[in-house]
Amino acid sequence: MRIARLTLLAACLTLSPLFAVAGTLYENGPINGETNAWTINLGFEVDDSFFIATPNAQVNGIAFGAWLTPGDVLQTVEVSITSQPGFGTTYFDGIVNFTQSGCSLNNYSFDVCTETGNFSPVSLAGGTYYLNLFNAVSAEGNPVYWDENSGAGCHSEGCPSTAYPDFFETIPSEAFTVLGNAGSVPEPASLALFASGVIVAGLLGRRKLLK
């Protein structure tokens, strides 16, 4: 039975990536920091598309590139996920707290930072959605801008994103990553059958070794 146990353990380790894995669900490329940025407070909003490639994905956070007045700190942003840019079916809408990191001064005298925020998981089927950022609040009450990168260097299916400022004409898309779990792939019954087959194969292997 030792061989059967080892074989089953190896099979479980091999199958583990098929279950929900935390990480990146969509990324629109790295922060540019030197081209342009779009206001996401003071009454302005920016909407970027993203694509979910797996069924039953669990979105639980985002990271994006922000331009800020030097020394200022982003505190919160209203984040929504919708079926159309800024409207349609709303899957999530909430005030999200952000953690700021990796800031550096660009040629326009703005701090360019990575902003990361998490929220309660939102279930999304495969398809195209829109990430909408607005009502940003900084510690000093200054304008907050979303870094424009045009999707350069993105690797996700469906990238580069299509972006809209306040639902109007399109603009080059922004630097962001959608975080979460990809969802489970195998059916429970299929896994049980597979595990049973592994055990039988292990027992047959032991019988063969004893002959």
The pLDDT tens digits for 48-79 are 999 999 999 999 999 999 999 999 999 999 99
Q: How crowded is the C-beta side of 93, counted as CA atoms within 13 Å? A: 9
- Which residue ranges make up each domain of the chain? 1-19+187-211, 21-183
With 0.85 as the threshold, say if the pTM is over it. Answer: no
CA distances from 129 to 50, 118, 158, 176, 190 (A): 5, 18, 11, 14, 31
* Averaged confidence pLDDT in the chain: 84
Instruction: List per-residue pLDDT tens for the chain, 211 residues long.
Output: 343 443 433 444 343 333 334 599 999 999 999 999 999 999 999 999 999 999 999 999 999 999 999 999 999 999 999 999 999 999 999 999 999 999 999 999 999 999 999 999 999 999 999 999 999 999 999 999 999 999 999 999 999 999 999 877 899 999 999 999 997 554 444 444 444 444 434 433 433 333 3
May I ask the CATH architecture of the domain 21-183?
Answer: Sandwich (2.60)
